[in-house]
A and B are shown apart, each in its own frame.
Chain A
Amino acid sequence: MRAARTAYPLKWRIMDALEDVAAAIWPARFRRATPYLMLLPAVLLVGLLALGLIQIADTSLRTLDTTTFQFSDDYSITNFRRALTEPLFLVVAQRSLIAALIVTAVTLVFAFPYAYLMVRTRSPGLRKFLLIALFLPFFIGQVVRAYGWLIILGNQGMVNEALGLVGVAPMRLIYNYPAVLFGLVQYMLPFAVLMLAPALTAIPEELEAAAGSLGANWVRTFIHVVLPLARPGFIGAGVVVLTLSLTDFAVPAILGGGSQDFIANAIYDQFFRTSDQGLGATLALMLVALGSILVGLVFALFGAGTLAMGRSRA
């Protein structure tokens, strides 16, 4: 009895049973379709998003009757006309787009040295410190971080108090466009570092050593070796930061003092402040379109970077 158990252990029997169950659910003749089965979660996810977009598209074509607060039964492009002609929406769209571009550029500049040091350092202690510092912000929500800046940069905040010690009068450091950009860069930095680090890890250190041995100083090595090879990381990080910044809501709302709205804030206003879900849906669709065009443009010009999982043109 004992010998038989040794020859065919219990865990093997369990595995056999599981295989039988799997064969009953998914017979061998379906095996060629197995890869497609793996796509099912993605199809479900994208399908739900597509259904949502169809619903939003439907709503965007209906206008609000402010005598009954019901939406029209018939379709019209009134909301699109308003979105494209009213100065408010143009100003907000322009502000969001410019902010997204500035934040992306500045974040990548700050993220690169951080990621490079984290990947290349010989000190395990320093690497751990950088990793902890990188992940710590993820445990603190975006809203809490933005409020943290209010405490630090407010009129009676730490910075103004420190300035007061040297005789500088309190100055308005928040509730303006630069404060929103600053908050967004601080929020986006960990995302960018996380996207850059794998690309930098993939660059063999020997290449940099070889460039040095051939007479290149660190600047030339950096420009001609490291930067080109890190391009997939820059593209991946850039796309993530660009789209997240473009669609952000909390940072402009909290650090902008109400006068630095982004598109997401305008969408919120239409849905929840004026009850005009039709116009809100229109703005939401236009934001999706703008983000998609930007990402498509980046992919067309530079490839998908790390987002292509090794299949990039880079």
Chain B
Amino acid sequence: MKRFKPTLSHLSRRTFLQATAALGGASALGLRGAYAQEPEKPAEIIVRAWGGSWVDSLKAGVSDSFTKMTGIAVRHDLTEDNEIQPKVWAAVAQNRVPPIHINWDTTTNATKSALRGVTEDLSDLPNLANVTDLAKPAGLEGFPIVNTYGYVYVLAYRPEAFPDGPPKSWKDLLDPKFKGRLAFYNDGIGFHFPAQVAGGGKLEDIPGNMQPAWDFITKMKAQQPLLGEDPDFTTWFQNGEIDAACTISTNAREARKNGVKIEWVVPEEGAKFDTDGLWIPKGLPENELYWAKQYINHALTKEAQQVWLDGLGLPGVVPGLTPPKDLVGDPSYPTTEADFQRLIRISSKIQVENESEWFSKFKAIMQG
């Protein structure tokens, strides 16, 4: 590992400025004893991200300010999270340098990587001292992942399609007038748990008995919903293809920003709450690992979280963040205990161990 350690005899103006800037940056990042121990900076670090407003928000909140402080460029790799996973796993298995420095991932997907043992431990990040419990991945040792915010799979709808007022229940979507006008994720993610409640089942029965969920999803299948991914929902709302969808509130908010009349609710059965996080794959050179950790550490500062999550419209893991004006009191931006009681949160461990079966079951119903 090379270390940046200028001596007085070689101290030029440029070196002095670089060291000062690095010290300033290191202080802002909360590094311990950074001066004279800072490893060599890579030309860039690569962060896998989701596209559209997701990456724009990350860039504005975290990447640009990180580059400004450290001088390290940040490249965003927009490979799908599901597609980067096998590449990273293969690289680690073959002792190759992984294709990315940081993976911005769903906590469920990231937990799979942690269980497989391909994630670096992040317990030593100084800013973890200032985060809420939401940042800690449940059921895992240490911090192989750091959760950075939460999100809600809301029921988003076009107000014109609901002239009698907002939908109160997921069951409202079974109205025949919505046939062909609904959308869900193509693996059913976000909908399994509310469907369990809407189908008359109990959340405590997950994963042992999810028949109520499958029965309700079977009823929903008769409505011939569209099945897609994040970008599809925004497009479908914009193109007037759908009236309602179970989607992450960020996608609905993005459609609204683009001029589409759209609202969202957390129905009486509840809505799934989940988290996304950042993690670092094993196999990076030590200096790159160091700077990748500093990137995540920076993402946990209040300033970075405020800008990043204002863009996404999601609640972060640092206390004292201010909700965006349009989301104050919004159910998709839970801040109080009462807000969280309306949401459904199932442990990552249960989700990871059963997700494959749930996806297959949902697909079997929808493809049948």
In Å, the complex CA distance between A275 and B83 comes to: 10
Stretch of A32-40, A63-71, A182-190 that contacts chain B = A63-71
Q: Do the beta carbons of B352 and A258 come within 8 Å of each other?
A: no
In Å, the complex CA distance between A64 and B86 comes to: 14
- A164 CB to nearest B CB, Å: 12
Q: Tell me whether A120 is interfacial, beta carbon within 8 Å.
A: no
List the A residue with the shortest CB-CB distance to B181. Answer: A172
Which A residues are in CB contact (< 8 Å) with B180? Answer: 172
When the two chains form the complex, which single residue of A69, A86, A172, A258 contacts B360, counting CB atoms closer than 8 Å?
A: A86
> Given A88-B360, A259-B366, are A275 and B226 also a contact pair (CB < 8 Å)?
no
Q: Do the beta carbons of B239 and A155 come within 8 Å of each other?
A: yes
Which among A87, A170, A271, A273 has the greatest number of chain B C-beta atoms within 10 A? A273
Which B residues are in CB contact (< 8 Å) with A272? Answer: 80, 82-83, 85-86
Interface string of B325-360 (1 = CB under 8 A from A): 000000000000000000000000000111110011
Q: Do the beta carbons of A274 and B359 come within 8 Å of each other?
A: yes
Q: Do the beta carbons of A257 and B363 come within 8 Å of each other?
A: no
List the B residue with the shortest CB-CB distance to A271. Answer: B86
Q: Do the beta carbons of B112 and A154 come within 8 Å of each other?
A: no
Q: Do the beta carbons of B112 and A275 come within 8 Å of each other?
A: yes
Which B residues are in CB contact (< 8 Å) with A260? Answer: 367
> Given A67-B353, A257-B226, A261-B363, are A87 and B115 also a contact pair (CB < 8 Å)?
no
Which A residues are in CB contact (< 8 Å) with B83? Answer: 272
B96-137 contacts to A, CB under 8 A, are 112-113, 115-117
Which B residues are in CB contact (< 8 Å) with A70? Answer: 116
In Å, the complex CA distance between A158 and B360 comes to: 36
> Given A66-B352, A87-B368, A156-B240, are A273 and B227 also a contact pair (CB < 8 Å)?
no
Q: Do the beta carbons of B112 and A269 come within 8 Å of each other?
A: no
- A256 CB to nearest B CB, Å: 9
- A277 CB to nearest B CB, Å: 7
Which A residues are in CB contact (< 8 Å) with B352? Answer: 66
List the A residue with the shortest CB-CB distance to B354. Answer: A66
B210-252 contacts to A, CB under 8 A, are 224-228, 232, 239-241
Q: Tell me whether B187 is interfacial, beta carbon within 8 Å.
A: yes
Which A residues are in CB contact (< 8 Å) with B366? Answer: 258-259
Which among A91, A269, A276 has the greatest number of chain B C-beta atoms within 10 A? A269
Q: Tell me whether B364 is interfacial, beta carbon within 8 Å.
A: yes
Interface string of A54-96 (1 = CB under 8 A from B): 0000000000101111100000000000000011100110010
Q: Do the beta carbons of A91 and B364 come within 8 Å of each other?
A: yes
Q: Tell me whether B169 is interfacial, beta carbon within 8 Å.
A: no
Q: Tell me whether A112 is interfacial, beta carbon within 8 Å.
A: no
Q: Tell me whether A249 is interfacial, beta carbon within 8 Å.
A: no
Which B residues are in CB contact (< 8 Å) with A114? Answer: none
Interface string of A143-164 (1 = CB under 8 A from B): 0000000000011100000000
- A9 CB to nearest B CB, Å: 54
When the two chains form the complex, which single residue of A64, A66, A259 contacts B367, counting CB atoms closer than 8 Å?
A: A259
7 nearest A-B pairs in the assembled complex, by CB-CB distance:
A258-B227, A88-B364, A274-B356, A272-B82, A69-B116, A258-B186, A257-B226
Chain A residues engaging chain B, CB cutoff 8 angstroms: 64, 66-70, 86-88, 91-92, 95, 154-156, 170, 172, 175, 257-261, 266, 269, 271-277
